[in-house]
Structure 1
């Protein structure tokens, strides 16, 4: 399989976007292409493209960049929330297990009855290798 798209410099990528009708300031666009990359940004300008690969008239790079920035910030907020839930759940599990069965309560399979089959042994092996 041969890749048919030619290499384009950042300036050539900007030229291509201009030919397709994207409205932008070169001094703003090119640093973003260098930092983030054409193909990563292409997912954010995709909704503004027409079937012939041109942009809907008056599509501004600023709008595309704002969508990218919003998505990035939203992702960080979601990951922060996921981490907080994960830490909370881990803390609750460790607290419950230690208060009921002692500091090493996890070493007794009977103390973790919801782990079926080989899940308990996978957990123990993961715990053992995580401190190597």
Structure 2
């Protein structure tokens, strides 16, 4: 006999949602009017991800927590995601720029289309990537870049153009398909204080982390499922902590080509921590996080 499915919960008005929190779940609310406004603009289910650590086994809130405290954490998470995405954008552009330049000089503008320029074991992945590129062309016929190259070059595109159409994740896959010798040479030309094995691990994870941030995933009190290699520097030893939000920020800052943007991130973190009084440990921040990030800012980038 099949197990019976549980019945879906009934939809609630915003006013009833607030009453449910206050009466049924015993949540303290300092300003009911403001709380109602929050529920009207932020999905109840989205907010619920931030209070799972503040309820007992009966789903009742602990007496010390308030709606305002939970919303403060939620807002900090939102600001943090925005700051991280801003830096990742520059990290991504730098990676794409240096990869396209190295590979094109080594194998020609369209050398990426020849599977003999990649690892022998990567033939299937290479075939899938070329299909992805063709799909992008076919699905975006009105894209000005695609239209221009179809008219003038019969649809052929050099790598430095193609790479702008590919997602961060697909570019990290392209790097992983390169021969170890090419990875080593590219990293030597574009980075310092780091080997290609770390670069491969880091960019794969950063692509994942960017998606987490873009899709509003919670960063507070989370152990990220994707693990990076542990990277020890003279100023920081992660000591097996490669799944915290702080470790991801640390790695992103290491690969940040925009020093001023990195400094701005640190300043904004200081400001937000003071304003919200969020528990930094829930993000994996060590006590000397500011000093670590200041020294990590662009530590692995070599622009000369």
Scaled by the length of structure 1, the TM-score of the pair is 0.84
Give the CA deviation at 1:101: 2.2
SS at match of 1:44: coil
Q: 2:27 aligns with which of 15, 22, 30?
A: 22
CA RMSD of aligned residues (A): 2.0
Q: Which has the larger radius of gyration?
A: 1
Pairing 1:52-91 to 2, within 5 Å after superposition: 52-91=58-97
CA distance in 1, matches of 2:121, 2:104: 17
Between the aligned partners of 1:21 and 1:41, the Cα distance in structure 2 is: 16
SS in 2 for 1:52: coil
**Aligned residue for 2:130?**
124
Q: 1-side partners of 2:109 and 2:81: how far apart?
A: 36
1:39 and 1:96 map into 2 onto residues whose CA distance is 46
Q: CA offsets, 1:68-100, max 9 Å, x none? A: 111122222333333333322221111011112
Match of 2:48 in 1: 42
Partner of 2:57: 51
Q: Which range is displaced more, 109-118 or 87-96? A: 109-118
Match of 1:109 in 2: 115
Q: Matched residue pairs, number?
A: 132
Show CA shifts across 1:17-68 (max 9, x none): 1113222212111121121121111111222212232221142111101111
Unaligned 5+ residue runs, structure 2?
A: 139-304
8 A contact 1:21–1:59 mirrored in 2: no
- The 1:58–1:116 alpha-carbon spacing in structure 2 relative to 1, beyond 3 Å, is closer
Q: TM-score normalized by structure 2?
A: 0.40
Name stretches of at least 5 consecutive residues in structure 1 with no aligned partner.
none
Q: Is the 8 A contact 2:115 2:126 kept in 1?
A: yes
Q: Tell me if the contact between 1:29 and 1:61 (Cα under 8 Å) persists in the aligned partners.
A: yes
C-alpha contact (below 8 Å) 2:115/2:123 kept by paired residues: no
